[in-house]
Amino acid sequence: MHAALTRLLCLYNARSAFRATVNADAKRLIARYDDQAYFEARERVKGRCLDGAGTSRYWTMVKLEIARLQGIAIGLAGGDLRK
């Protein structure tokens, strides 16, 4: 029982650290690219950025966090629109 609880706590801590990293990268891109941050993250998902060291899954999470922070509605009629 104690080992299972310890594993769950480690998993929770790892997810929290991952989310904090995603949030920090999102804020860093917003600070650097302002309104173009979402599109920069989208390019990193596609692997078109040299300094985007991370998986496409990671940059997708960053892209979605930027969209949340900037109020961008995703997937409406094939475009990314501000709310």
Domain range annotation of the chain: 2-82
83/62 Cα distance (integer angstroms):
19
Lowest mean pLDDT among 4-8, 26-30, 48-52, 78-82: 78-82
pLDDT tier, 77 (very low <50, low <70, confident <90, very high otherwise): low
Q: What is the pTM of this model?
A: 0.78
Q: Answer for the pair 74, 80: CB distance below 8 angstroms, yes or no.
A: yes
Per-residue confidence (pLDDT) for residue 9, from 0 to 100:
81
Tokens of 33: 């690219």
Q: What is the pLDDT of residues 16-57, one digit of tens each?
A: 888 999 999 999 999 999 999 999 999 998 887 766 577 889
